[in-house]
Amino acid sequence: MLLELEMRMLDPEVRWTLNAQDISMTVWGLAKVQTENHEFLHEVADHVLSAGLIRDFGAQSIANTVWGFATLGIRHAGLMAAIAEQVVRPGFVDTFTPQGLANTIWAFAVLGIQNQRLASSIAERMMHDWFLYTFEPQELATAAWAFAKLQVWSPTLMESVADAAVVEGNLANFNPQSISMMAWAFA
């Protein structure tokens, strides 16, 4: 069935009607089932770029798309560069949820894609207006791990992450994976 769905999406009659949400949900779904058809996802990424659809991607669509590509280990440099440019547009990063921000920086880290402007934009958002304190333990650990993996070391950011982790006994809510990710990030 997946192959048939992929073929249908590549049909020009369908392809040109897809919107950002359709694409991001498809990428997310294919990542959840661990599709092996990476060629199809490269074609989807090329379509997003050639059709200029990236400008229509909101924060959730971006988070789902980068998560899907990273989960499958697909490093489409052009798409990731366009996504980074979308995220750093003035005010755009403010539309992300904590989970969306954590997943986005995580995806870039997993794929080994350095983008200083993206990392700086996400770090600034995390530290603005106590936003960091709205992160769940997994989101906090995921973001901290990603910044460390990307070798983006900001003492101010990491101090803020540490403060958010221990505020009001929050550390007791960290599961073993989140604890190990935080330990790795601060090592």
Q: What is the pLDDT along the chain (187 residues), one digit of tens a residue?
A: 666 766 666 666 666 678 899 899 989 988 998 988 888 889 889 999 998 999 999 999 999 999 999 999 999 999 999 999 999 999 999 999 999 999 999 999 999 999 999 999 999 999 998 999 999 999 999 999 999 999 998 899 999 999 999 998 888 999 999 999 999 999 9
Helix 116-127 vs helix 98-111: crossing angle, to nearest 10 = 150
Neighbours of 159 (CB within 10 A): 11
Give dist(CA 161, CA 139) in Å, integer: 11
pTM of the full structure = 0.92
Residue 145 DSSP SS3: helix
